[in-house]
């Protein structure tokens, strides 16, 4: 069984929410007021230590409550 960190869950759930609501990375950056490069690095797994403030702003912009966005995705293939 693979150990997945909270940031991996965050990334997967953020990506899934954006796909579900048809939100591009640029739109997510605009809505959250987080720089596009930062959003891109988080989603690519390059930036693995975003602040809780950034996580909260991204989650809100994607329409996912902060506690839920850190949970292991149910549909993780």
Average pLDDT over residues 21-40: 97
pLDDT at 76: 47
Look at residue 73 and tell me if it is in a domain: no
Helix-strand-coil split of the chain, %, nearest 5:
60, 0, 40
Look at residue 56 and tell me if it is in a domain: yes
pLDDT at 48: 85
pTM score of the predicted model: 0.85
pLDDT at 38: 97
Q: Specify the CATH number for the domain of residue 18.
A: 1.10.260.40
Look at residue 54 and tell me if it is in a domain: yes
Using left for φ > 0, alpha for ψ between -120 and 50, and beta otherwise, residue 73 falls in: beta
Query: Token match 């940031």: residue?
Result: 7
What's the structural domain count of the chain? 1
Maximal C-alpha separation, the chain: 37
Angle in degrees, CA 4, 8, 26, rounded to 5:
170
Look at residue 30 and tell me if it is in a domain: yes
Look at residue 49 and tell me if it is in a domain: yes
Print the domain residue range for 23: 6-67
Look at residue 47 and tell me if it is in a domain: yes
Look at residue 76 and tell me if it is in a domain: no
For 6-29, write each residue's pLDDT tens digit: 889 999 999 999 999 999 999 999
């Amino acid at each position: 069984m693979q150990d997945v960190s909270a940031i991996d869950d965050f990334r997967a759930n953020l990506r899934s929410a954006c796909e579900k609501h048809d939100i591009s990375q640029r739109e997510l950056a605009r809505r959250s007021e987080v720089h596009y490069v930062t959003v891109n690095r988080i989603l690519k797994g390059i930036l693995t230590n975003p602040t809780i403030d950034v996580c909260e702003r991204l989650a809100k912009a994607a329409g996912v409550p902060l506690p839920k966005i850190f949970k292991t995705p149910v549909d993780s293939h």
